[in-house]
Amino acid sequence: MILACHQRRPGSSPGPLQSSAPRRGGIRWAGRAGRSLGALLAVGVVLAGLAASFAANGLPSFSGPRAYSHVQELAGRIGPRPSGTPASDLARAYIAARLRNAGYRVEEQPFPIQYYEVVRSELEVVSPVPAKVPGLALHHSGSGVAEGPLVDGGIGNEQALHGVQGAGAILLIRRGEIPFTQKVEQALRVGARGVVIYNHRPGAFQGSLRNAVAVPVLGITQEEGERLLQALRQGPVQARVAVEAKLETRTAYNVIGWPAAEAELLVTAHYDSVHLAPGANDNASGTAVMVEVAAALAGTPLGQRVGFVAFGAEEIGLLGSRHYVQGLDPGSRQRLRAVINVDTVGGLGGLIVLTARQVPDGTRRLADLALQLIRAAGLQGIREESTRAASDHIPFMQAGVPAVTLARQGSEHIHTPDDRPERVTSPRLADTGRIVLQLLEALQTSPALIPARTPALD
């Protein structure tokens, strides 16, 4: 999942259907004012019918332990797997083999990417007391060396930087509230030569900028950031930031498992990670759920029109899902009724139904249905709006296809070396997998509940 901010729509408030899950910043609850009562009643009717259907026929079995074994393989044995690397090729081959063994026709869809790799990144305090500070360049940081006075830029938004003497400076900015790209853009507007972003929680992180920038941008730990702030309180600090990176064209791949008939529903997940992280939660967990749902549906009536796509290059701008959507012919796009994307679902928190700030009717109804199924299963669930670049549901939604991402709270270790298999739990994978299966069953049983097409977003 691309590290981004989530927002609750201004003026919204928890409605009568709110979950018992603890609130956190950015939550937009289901059941808020303005939600169609008719749509909620329709969901209730569907849930009642589904309960009878599940009791009579059951659902295909989902194995949490088998899903966890995929996490161990992808994040434990293979480890960090940025798109365009040999490790990513190993992950791609593993996923393709699992889908092929389940009986799907597998296609590996190539697309070009600009592969960015940091060769060297350094932060040095030049004066008053020389010191080396460990740091990691953000993806798409500029290469070069910048030296200047270190200046506290607060959270790095326009208000925080108003009146700040940033010309020729190295701005020290706290992570959080707005995306990294916006922080850097604001820093450039005040004339900064370089940017250092310190974490808002303990530990290191590796972030990504939406576009390449001309100045070096480094991330450091919360602890190092606070030390630098303390030094600034005692007097001027001169700092030097250096980044050396290489950029080259490489090939990334989507892995597609086609069902026997034309796909009307898709279950998707990205399988790449950032350079630093083993990527157990982000997103071996989602990939594992997708692979096990595919195995559970193989050869069943429910699975005849469900396709599966493991996207590459999500972490560098949703490139795999964008390429897939752009390559859909009009007939395939018209047949595609809904997309369920799975991203960072291995943690200990409640489930999140992730949509976007602009939500077409089809996506809103799909999110309503997902949230109601989560609650009906006795699980904690909330709904959030994402920025336009948070996960792979976004390109589908922008193209007019109803799409949501299932995620989980408690994902603070993503994009760090601590995103290891032991932080993912088999029961959480199983809970998520069963919700995906129930959602697919609901979409097959009551296709009229979700409009087949909605207007594309600008």
166-210 tens-digit pLDDT: 999 999 999 999 999 999 999 999 999 999 999 998 888 888 888
Rounded Cα distance, 143 and 17, in Å: 50
Q: What average pLDDT score do residues 248-256 get?
A: 97
Q: Which range, 1-15, 66-80, 324-338, is most confident? A: 66-80
Same domain flag for 98 and 134: no
Same domain flag for 285 and 430: yes
Range of the domain at 87: 19-104+259-449
Largest distance between two CA atoms of the chain: 75
> Is the predicted pLDDT of residue 234 greater than 60, yes or no?
yes
Q: Could you tell me the two tokens for 394? A: 């976004």
Question: Which CATH number does the domain housing residue 370 bear?
Answer: 3.40.630.10
pTM over 0.75: yes
Q: How does the average pLDDT of the chain come out, rounded?
A: 87
pLDDT band at 37 (very low <50, low <70, confident <90, very high): very low
- Judge whether 325 lies within some domain: yes
DSSP, collapsed to helix, strand or coil, labels residue 283 as helix
Our count of domains for the chain comes to 2
Q: What share of the chain is helix, strand, coil (3-state, %, to 5)?
A: 35, 25, 40
> Is the predicted pLDDT of residue 66 greater than 90, yes or no?
yes
Looking at the chain, the whole-number percentage of residues with pLDDT higher than 90 is 70
- Judge whether 37 lies within some domain: yes
Pairing of strands 338-342, 403-408: parallel
Residue 168 buriedness (CB in 10 A; 0-12 / 13-18 / 19+) = middle
Same domain flag for 438 and 309: yes
- Of 242, 234, 241, nearest to 128 by C-alpha is 234
Rounded Cα distance, 104 and 259, in Å: 6
The pLDDT score that the predictor gives to residue 29 is 28
> Is the predicted pLDDT of residue 11 greater than 90, yes or no?
no
The pLDDT score that the predictor gives to residue 13 is 30
> Is the predicted pLDDT of residue 10 greater than 50, yes or no?
no
Same domain flag for 238 and 299: no
Q: Which of 246, 275, 309 is the last residue of a domain?
A: 246
Q: Could you tell me the two tokens for 50? A: 């589904």
The pLDDT score that the predictor gives to residue 26 is 29
- Judge whether 9 lies within some domain: no
Same domain flag for 26 and 129: no
pLDDT band at 83 (very low <50, low <70, confident <90, very high): very high
Same domain flag for 35 and 160: no
Higher pLDDT, 380 or 410: 380
Rounded (5°) CA angle 115-116-119: 135
Looking at the chain, the whole-number percentage of residues with pLDDT higher than 70 is 85
Question: Which CATH number does the domain housing residue 216 bear?
Answer: 3.50.30.30
Q: What is the pLDDT of residues 280-322, one digit of tens each?
A: 999 999 999 999 999 999 999 989 999 999 999 999 889 999 9
Q: Which residue has the tokens 């029109």?
A: 305
Rounded Cα distance, 48 and 247, in Å: 54
- Of 219, 209, 220, 206, nearest to 186 by C-alpha is 209
Neighbours of 128 (CB within 10 A): 11
Same domain flag for 230 and 359: no
Q: Could you tell me the two tokens for 52? A: 């009878």
Cross-strand bridge partners of residue 105: 258
Are 290 and 267 spatial neighbours (Cβ–Cβ below 8 Å)? yes
> Is the predicted pLDDT of residue 135 greater than 90, yes or no?
yes
- Judge whether 38 lies within some domain: yes
Are 362 and 451 spatial neighbours (Cβ–Cβ below 8 Å)? yes
- Judge whether 92 lies within some domain: yes
Q: Which amino acid is at 130?
A: P
Rounded Cα distance, 228 and 127, in Å: 12
Are 176 and 201 spatial neighbours (Cβ–Cβ below 8 Å)? no
